[in-house]
Amino acid sequence: MLKQLLAGAFVAAAFMAPTALAQVNLTAETASPGGATHLSPAHMTEIAGTKGIANIQLADGQTLTNSIQNVAEGKTDIAGTPHILPFLMSRGVGPYGSLGKEKGAELASNLRAINPFTLGIFFLYAYDAKGIEGWDDLKGRKIYNGPPRGGALTNARSMIQIVAGLKDGEDYEGLQVNWGQGTTLVTSGEPDAIVLPELFPGSRLTSATASGKMTGWSMPKAAYESEAMQKYMKAPGSAPFTMKLADLKAKMGDDWTFVSEDETFRAFATIGGNVVHKDMDDKLVYDLVSAYISTLDDLKAKAPYGDTVNFDNPMLGMCGANPVKYHPGAARAWREAGFKLDDCAVAE
C-alpha cells in the first residue's frame, strides 16, 4: 500500500513538475501585436511557462520609451526596445531630457540585452492608383511618415531628407497618426505615399493591399552608398538592409510591385531587442535565453516575416556607440548554442 501511495505521489509530482518549477514571477512590457517586438517576448513568455522556468506577465501596447526606463528603475523585468532609446537615455536627451545626463547615464547602465530582433524596415510605398513615380516624385505630396512623435517619425523624415532632399512641412506635407490608426489612414487614400518601418510581410502591409495594389521603391543605390546615409545607418538603432528583389517579390505576392535599378532592394532597418536589469539572476537569464534559442525555429515559423527579422543574429547593432551590452547569462547561452558574440558586446 505504501509503495502504491509513493508511486502515485511520484507520478503526480512528475505531472506537476513544470508548474512547480515555475516559481519565479516576472513582468514584461512590449509593443502592440503584429511585429517582431511583440512576437519575441510573447514566445519567450510561452516557452518560459512551458518549460517551468518562469511565469511572465506580458503587457502589450506599451510605450517602449517608458518601458525601458521601468526596467532600468527595477519596476519591470523585461522590455523590448530599439537600440536608439538606451542611447538617448544614456545622454539624457530626447524623450529622456527631463532625466538629465547624469541620471540618464546611471539608468542606462542598468540595462542588459538578452536577445535581438529587427523592429521594421523603412521604405517608400504607395497605392498604384496614386501614380507616384518614386523618390523623385514626392515634392508637394502628402506623406504618412509615422506617429506624432518618436523614433519612427525621426527616421522617416531623415530618410526622405537624405534620399530626396525634402523637408517635412516645407517640401511636402507630413501626416502623423498613432500606430493604431495607421492602417485606417493608409486605406483612406489621404496620403499620396507612405514611409514607415514595415515587415515583409507585416500585418499593416497585408491589410493595406486589400484596398488596392501597391508599389514599393528601393532606396537608390547612390543614396544608399552616400556618406550621409552610411553614417546614419551606423547610428545606434539603425542598420543597413538589403534583400534580393526576387525574394522580396516572392514573399509579398502579386499585390506588390517593387522597383530597384538592379536586382537588390535597399533600405535601412530599425533594430533592437529585449533588455533586462543588470541585477537579474544569472542562472535565470541563462535558462530563459537557452530555452528561447532552442526554439528559434518554432519562433520563426509563427509569422510569415519570421526569417527576415534577425531573431538569430545576437551581434545585431551591438558594440560601437550602443551603450547596451549582453547580460553575462544571456551571452553564455548564445555562445554555448554556437553563436558568435564579440567581447565588446558582453558586460563584465
Q: Quick: pLDDT tens for 90-147.
A: 999 988 999 999 999 999 999 999 999 999 999 999 999 999 999 999 999 999 998 8
pLDDT of residue 22: 55
- In single-letter form, the type of residue at position 268 comes to F
C-alpha cell at 42: 510573447
Contact 116, 82 (CB under 8 A): no
Q: What is the pLDDT of residue 17?
A: 42
> Residue 12: its pLDDT value, please?
40
Same domain, yes or no, for 165 and 84? no
Question: How many CA atoms lie within 13 Å of 98's alpha carbon, on the beta-carbon side?
Answer: 4
Q: Please work out, in degrees rounded to the nearest 5, the angle formed at the alpha carbon of residue 134 by the alpha carbons of 226 and 120.
A: 70
52 alpha carbon, distance to own chain's centre: 27
Same domain, 175 and 261: yes
Indicate whether 68 and 199 sit together in one domain. Answer: no
Residues 241, 174: one domain? yes
Q: Are residues 186 and 204 in the same domain?
A: yes
The pair phi, psi for residue 196, each rounded to 5°, is -145, 165
Query: What are residue 263's phi and psi, to 5 degrees?
Result: -95, 20
Asked if 274 and 40 touch (Cβ cutoff 8 Å), the reply is: yes
CA dihedral 95, 168, 243, 64 (to 10 degrees): 20
Element (H, E) at 149: none
Q: Pick out the chain residues at pLDDT < 70.
A: 1-22
The total number of structural domains in the chain stands at 2
Q: Look at residue 19 in the predicted model and tell me its pLDDT.
A: 42
Task: Give the H/E segment covering residue 52.
Answer: none
Q: What's the confidence (pLDDT) of residue 95?
A: 86
Same domain, 262 and 147: yes
Q: Is 44 helix (H, G, I), strand (E, B) or coil?
A: helix
- Whether residues 215 and 308 share a domain: the answer is no
* pLDDT given at position 281: 97
Domain boundary among 226, 251, 270: 270
Q: Are residues 197 and 185 in the same domain?
A: yes
Cell of 296: 528559434
- Residue 207, Cβ neighbours under 10 Å: how many? 15
Domain boundary among 270, 301, 331: 270
Find the domain containing 237 and state its range. Answer: 120-270
pLDDT in tens, 179-203: 778 889 999 999 999 999 999 888 8
Domain finish residue from 270, 299, 324: 270
H or E element at residue 123: strand 111-127
Q: Looking at the structure, do residues 140 and 261 belong to the same domain, yes or no? A: yes
Question: Looking at residue 15, which CATH number applies to its domain?
Answer: 3.40.190.10
